[in-house]
Every structure is written in structure tokens, then in C-alpha cells.
Chain A
Amino acid sequence: MRLSSDSTTVRSEFADDPDMSPIVELFIRELPHRLAAMHSALASSNFEQLRSLAHQLKGAAGGYGFPKLGEAAALVDQGIKDGCDPNVIRSRVGMLAALAARIRP
């Protein structure tokens, strides 16, 4: 999975759904805070916390029209569950962050 070279923007599948757009926008506004929390959990090696954050994103991102973001979060979740090397986890969080950075309202 190579995402680093791709810099196109990503929009929600539901961006044009008038019912959904308010909560999609809220989701996008909150996303940097979620990622900051994940980075800080990673920095303090609090993998339980990191996994919980990734797990929530995994379950919800698809519902907000960002299935790829959900898949990237699932890789973090699964990596911690499988006891992967912290470097692997770090790189997966990096991929998740790169993908999140491309998201636009």
C-alpha cells in the first residue's frame, strides 16, 4: 500500500448528501485532533489507547464516506492486536495521517 506519492484530495462519498454534510464536516474538523491523540499515544507507547482510537476510526470512517481511511485505521488496529513491531505501527499511523491530510470538505 503506497500512498505517500499520491497527493490528490479526497472527498467524502456523502459530501453532497444534505443530511450527511453537517456531520461529515464535523468529522473532518475533528480529524486532526484524533490524529494528534494517536500520535501522542504512539509517542508514549500507549498502544492500548492508540488501538482504541484506531478502532473507533475503523468503525466510523466508512460511515462518513471515507472507506480508505477506515481501512488504514484497521491496519493500525490489527497491527497492535497482532503485536507488530512499534516501527510497523508507526509507519501505519504515518500512512493513516498521510491519507487524512488529503481529506477536504
Chain B
Amino acid sequence: MDGCVGRSSSMVTRRMTLSSAPLPKVLAIDDSELIHRLLRVRLQHEQLELHGATESDQGLRMARELMPDVILLDIEMEGMDGFEVLQALKSDVDLQDIPVIFISATASMEDRVRALDLGAIDFVGKPFEVVELKARVRSALRVQHLVKMLAQRAQVDGLTGLWNRTYFDRRLSQEFAEAQRHGRTVSLVMCDVDGFKRLNDERGHPFGDMVLERFAKILQGGRTSDVACRYGGEEFGIILPNTTGIEAIEVAERYRRAFEQEVWSAAAGKVVTASFGVSDMISLPQATSFNDLIASADAALYRAKLNGRNRVEAAIAPNPAS
């Protein structure tokens, strides 16, 4: 009785023991059901989650939905062939970093070169050797793991662990476009540690670094939907999706108070503060790009500095209806 039951339950067990790290997803795009059956059996003991598409369009759609870690792609399919699918994948910013392994029965040298030149990471001929196929999938998964790690590292600020400027620009531009498309709003808080240069000069760089780290920690401890980034130097930007300017002012005010109340053991009695500028899309109906949001929040931040620092200023009157 243990034969069949044992095998199916071992699949479940494996998934459960690894639940801390989700299994890597592999998407196979091939118009032959024979190949899908084969892959399902041949890859069933690998640590991965296999998905299949039998048509190009369906394959592209599933790639967007699943964001697989590796794509196995057949070259010769009806309709859009594998080369076209590969081109579509590589011209989509969200999908272009997914490694693609080509599978083809033709496997002419020209095809292999063309596939690699179009951005495929590897090539397996049909009928494939099982051991080789598994090894190539594993190898592509390793590459993808590193690519993901590098991509993330390249967007994280080393000192504070917040998102960096590169990520900030990309994310704000995305949120701005999405808000425009769906008639939603986005708010932006730009903030800056008051008198940071003097702090650095008087207390030394290690103290300055500590100030930035603690400020970052406060900004990071806000609402989960808010995106805190280090904009550069002592300036930070927080993207608040689906948030009105008035709500954003309240959020900024909470950060301001929390920072003001920090206790600095290395400088007893010293109060370190920050100033905040808020902008939002509703108060800027003429905004055509996310840069307008930044400029407006920066102008508000400048006003906060002029008006005595340690305060929140907004680009809008708090009650736009009046």
C-alpha cells in the first residue's frame, strides 16, 4: 500500500519542509503535450515548481503572472515561434532578466547561435538527455539566484539598508504612472536631517552615520505600504502610494516627532531634528511626471528649512477646497 501513496505524499512533504524558501518556478513553453508530460515526470524530483504553457501567447501571459525563475522554451511552435517569444521576453523590462533555456528538435548551429544572441542563456536539443536537462536547469537557477541578489543589492543603500536613489526614481515613476492610469493618488515626502554638516564636523563621521542610520530606522518603521529611500547624503524620500497630501503630512509629522525624541548617548542633551516637505498628486493636477512631485516636495522642504527647521511643510494648503 505504500507504493503509490508514499510517492505522492513525499512531494507534499518536500514542499512543506522547504516552505521557508519558496521553490523556484520553472515555466515550460512548448506546443507538444508529449513534452510537457515528459518534463513533469523528469523534473518531479527536482526542487522546483513546474508550470506549462502550450501556446506562445499563453506562455507570455503566464510569464508575467508567475515571474518564473527559469523559462524552458521550444523554438518551433505554431503561430509565434520561440524566437519571437524570446524577443518579446527580452524587450519586457519585468521579464528580461529571467534566464531562458531553448529546447528544440532542430538544433542547427545557426539556431543555437541565433537563440544565444537573442539573449537565451542555454540550449538543450530534443530528445534531451535527462541528466543534462536537469543540470542545465539547475545551472540557470543558480544564475538567476545571483542575478536577483545583485539586482537587489544594486538598489539598496549600504549604510542605512533603505532603497537607494536608483530604486527611488524607478519606483516613484512607476507609482506615478499607475496612479495616473487608475485615477489614484501618490504622495511624496522629502526630508533632510537639520544641520547635518555641522553635526558631522563637530561630532565626527561615525556619529553622523549613526544619525543617518537611526533616522532611516524611523522612516522604515512606518506603514508597510510606504517606501522609504535614501535620496542622497542626508536627504531621504518616502513614497506613499494611495495616500492624500493631508495623510502624508500626518505621517511626516509622526516621523518628525519620533526623530526629535531620539536620545543620543554620545552627545547628552543633544537634540537632532529633521525637516520635511510634502507633495501629492491631487494638489498638482498639472504634474506631467514624477519629477514635478519631487520638485514640489523639495520646494516645501526648502520652506521648512527657511521657517525654522524641525517642521513639516506641504506644497498645498491643507484644505484645498477653501
Contact = CB atoms under 8 A, between A and B. Distances in A.
Contacts of A70: 127
Nearest to B32: A56
A60 B126 contact: yes
Contact of B127 (A19, A27, A61): A61
Interface in B39-94: 41-42, 44, 74, 76, 78
A62 B37 contact: no
B136 to A, nearest CB: 15
Contacts, number: 47
Contacts of A32: none
B41 A19 contact: yes
B126 A52 contact: no
A60 B41 contact: no
B35 A59 contact: yes
A17 to B, nearest CB: 9
Contacts of B126: 58-60, 62-63
Interface in A2-50: 19-20, 23, 26-27
Interface in B8-28: none
Contact of A60 (B34, B44, B78, B104): B34
A34 to B, nearest CB: 9
B44 A64 contact: no
A67 interface: yes
A20 B42 CA distance: 8
Contacts of B263: none
Interface size class of A (residues with CB under 8 A): 10 to 19
B320 to A, nearest CB: 63
A19 B44 CA distance: 9
A90 interface: no
Interface in A39-85: 52, 55-64, 67, 70, 74
Contacts of A74: 105
Contacts of B105: 55, 58-59, 74
B38 A63 contact: yes
A70 B128 CA distance: 12
B127 A67 contact: yes
Contacts of B104: 59
Nearest to A23: B37
Contact of A62 (B31, B42, B76, B127): B127
Interface of A: 19-20, 23, 26-27, 52, 55-64, 67, 70, 74
13 contacts: A19-B42, A23-B37, A23-B41, A27-B34, A52-B78, A56-B32, A56-B34, A59-B35, A60-B35, A60-B126, A61-B127, A63-B38, A67-B127
Given A27-B34, A63-B42, A67-B127, 13 more contacts: A19-B42, A19-B44, A26-B37, A52-B78, A56-B32, A56-B34, A58-B105, A59-B32, A59-B35, A59-B74, A59-B127, A61-B127, A63-B34
